[in-house]
Amino acid sequence: MKAIVFHQHGDPSVLHYTDVPEPHLRHNEVLVRVHACALNHLDLWVRRGLPGVPIPLPHIPGSDIAGEVAKVGPEVSTVHVGQKVVLAPGVTCGKCPACLSGNDNRCRDFTNLGYMIDGGCAEYVRCPEVNCMPYPENLDWAHAAAVPLVFQTAWHMLVNRAQLQPGEEVLILAASSGVGSAAIQVARFFGARVIATAGSDEKIAKAKEIGADEVIHHGIMPIAKEVRRLTNNHGVDVVVEHVGTATWDDSVKSLASGGRLVTCGATTGYDAKLDIRFLFTRHLSILGSYMGTKDELRTILKLVAQGRLKPVVDKVWPLNECATAHNYLEKSKHFGKVVLTIP
Ligand SMILES: [Zn+2]
């Protein structure tokens, strides 16, 4: 089969479009003919290499997959050959207390397709049967692949961790990112007022189009100061943080008394300072969040099928142009998802 493979970490030039053997199935696994695979920031980290994360090489990246079941293992009973599926990115043991209580994103064996195991930048990918999710028939392959990782991440942050309530005010950083564009919609769905940030007039217009009530141009206006102005000096109840060092101070300063900062990433760096006096006197909560559960993804896909949540696709490339797509994603010119397709 054709696949994108890298044999060493590095810049996008390490990505090769080449022939590799089709994966062998285990008893409880399915082989999926991939039609679309959406990229995430995670793909860039995996390609560059992460300290302390020994990604097996050679490696096929790609976590967000939509396709058709091509083969099933002998123990598979809930999906059939020819069925259209969206794959849950998280692969877990399915047996530990976390998995059994539905908190599968807390499984100690948690990994994503395309992270510690081969992913979907290929004609075929293998995954456990339980990762097959119902396909939203109102979407084409590219839009279906754009749903899982960012929507489950945004949902888990806002609903599970921050416990967002109707009428609350939320600051969502980087509206143009995959997580940002999903978080805006999830926050609006739960009846929150959304203040987003973006880096250009074009991105500001798009953020408003998908539901942001207010958008701060973060290159021109100081975020925390603008948040104070837009909330009558109250601050926001929840901050969706995934930028890291560059925005951390502003994020903390934007919180209202009793506010919750929830973070799922640090694309600009891991280092952050926190004035502990500010934390306790203002009753703040700092919450970590990682991926989402299969149950949450099932709910999200239902809402997507009803047209109530909409994946935002920026650009689609054929699989063999994966390196071009990585370059594009690294330049942060996109709004929404960058997707690779295999017709
Ligand atoms: Zn587990």
Question: For residue range 87-108, what is the model confidence (pLDDT) as tens digits?
Answer: 999 999 999 999 999 999 999 9
**272 CA distance to ligand 1 centroid (A)?**
31
Question: For residue range 234-288, what is the model confidence (pLDDT) as tens digits?
Answer: 999 999 999 999 999 999 999 999 999 999 999 999 999 999 999 999 999 999 9
The Cα 174–Cα 304 span in angstroms is 22
Please compute, for residue 58, the number of CA atoms within 13 A of its CA located in the half-sphere on the CB side: 14
**111 CA distance to ligand 1 centroid (A)?**
10
- Return the percentage of the chain with pLDDT > 90, whole number: 98
Question: For residue range 203-220, what is the model confidence (pLDDT) as tens digits?
Answer: 999 999 999 999 999 989
pLDDT of residue 313: 97
Strand ranges in 208-271 using DSSP code E only, listed in sequence order: 214-217, 236-241, 255-263
**73 CA distance to ligand 1 centroid (A)?**
21
Question: Do 122 and 1 contact (CB within 8 A), yes or no?
Answer: yes
Task: Report the pLDDT averaged over residues 302-326.
Answer: 98
The Cα 1–Cα 255 span in angstroms is 50
Q: Which residues surround ligand 1, an ion (CB under 5 A)?
A: 92-93, 96, 99, 107
Residue type, 175: A
**341 CA distance to ligand 1 centroid (A)?**
31
**145 CA distance to ligand 1 centroid (A)?**
25
pTM of the model: 0.97
Question: For residue range 172-188, what is the model confidence (pLDDT) as tens digits?
Answer: 999 999 999 999 999 99
**102 CA distance to ligand 1 centroid (A)?**
9
Do the strands 169-172 and 193-198 form a parallel or antiparallel pair, or are they unpaired? parallel
**54 CA distance to ligand 1 centroid (A)?**
20
**98 CA distance to ligand 1 centroid (A)?**
6
**90 CA distance to ligand 1 centroid (A)?**
11
**146 CA distance to ligand 1 centroid (A)?**
25
Residue type, 302: K
